Amino acid sequence: MVHGQPTLAQGGKSMSTVPKIALVGCGYWGKNLCRNFHGLGVLNTVVDATENGREIARSISSIAKITECFEDVLNDEQVQGVALATPAETHYELAMKAMEAGKDVFVEKPMALNISDAESMQAQARKSGRILMVGHLLEYHPAVLKLKELIVSGELGKINYVYSNRLNFGKVRTEENALWSFAPHDVAVILRLLGQSPSQVSASGGSYLSKGIADVTVSNLHFSDNSRAHIFVSWLHPYKEQRLVVVGDKKMAILNDVAPYGEKLLLYPQFVEFDGKIPILKKEDAEFIDYTNTEPLRQECAHFVECMINRKQPLTDAHSGIEVLKVLQACQLSIDKNGAPVKV
């Protein structure tokens, strides 16, 4: 269904200045960005090298310019921002060209394939005064934001342990392993919730479909305050699971992102106390934690637009993107070293 031009609104208030954004890549994930930027009234151009991608763009927006040439965007003075939903190996080159052309940049995760490129992107953003935002989608999930509130308020107590499972049957990739494809989401959320980066990681993986491409990885994160986390990702799993568990010394919480809204975020008021040396388990029934049920991707896209208009630093800026990359790179090195611990 082709849609016309909507009106941009954020929090019920119309924005007086509406920036124009070009989307590069309208495929598996890019089409979702296309839908949301169009819905916000800021989509000006869609660039895709494939006819299929361009057809998808036309089906979403009847007014956006459609092209296969990225240079068209760089030379278009009407375009103030560029959103990149292209393969990760292209992020560095495209983002640098866009910022050098005076465009703000939204880049999907991971922002680059190595820390050196990511730091160069950050430096270019500072030099040119451009917004550089990384698409760590789950940091805009209203349930994750609510979970962060619970942690900051102290309701869960000291956080002892976090684990995250991101499992599914597909989508199988041959250009990157499951760690780099799935785990950036989980690393970003865990770092945000705990407010720190790990001091050391260890990780292992198994390759079963394509030689050298891990289909399953388990990463263990060790933090300086003695808290721990682990991340289990796989595209070779019989069913879909997206589960985040946070264990505090006062209460525990579970975010089950495949559950319906009324069961998605649960708080367990249970803990362990001691009678002398005897552990006593205090158990209570789980309670649903209410939160504003909005689409995370719409919130993320609207945040980029807001940052462009108000010239403010994004929540998921280059610094946070680099911190996630450091963890991923250390986990990959540990996998390459058969699970040996690696300092971050």
* SS3 state of residue 24: strand
Find out whether 95 and 117 touch, Cβ atoms under 8 Å.
Answer: no
Mean pLDDT of the chain: 94
- DSSP code for 3: B
Burial 281-316 (b: 16+ CB within 10 A, else e): eeeeeeeebebeeeebbbbbbbbbbebbbeeeebbb
Q: CA-CA distance, 315 to 12, in Å (whole number)?
A: 21
**pLDDT value at residue 189:** 98
Q: List pLDDT tens digits, range 176-214.
A: 899 999 999 999 999 999 999 999 999 999 999 999 999
Q: List pLDDT tens digits, range 212-260.
A: 999 999 999 999 999 999 999 999 999 999 999 999 999 999 999 999 9
Say yes or no to pLDDT of 1 above 50: no
The torsion defined by the Cα of 205, 206, 211 and 212, in degrees rounded to 10, comes to 10
Q: List pLDDT tens digits, range 18-53.
A: 999 999 999 999 999 999 999 999 999 999 999 999
**pLDDT value at residue 271:** 87
Beta-carbon contacts of residue 195 (< 8 Å; ≥ 6 apart): none
Domains of the chain are 9-136+297-316 (3.40.50.720), 139-295+325-343 (3.30.360.10)
Q: List pLDDT tens digits, range 146-173.
A: 999 999 999 999 999 999 999 999 889 8
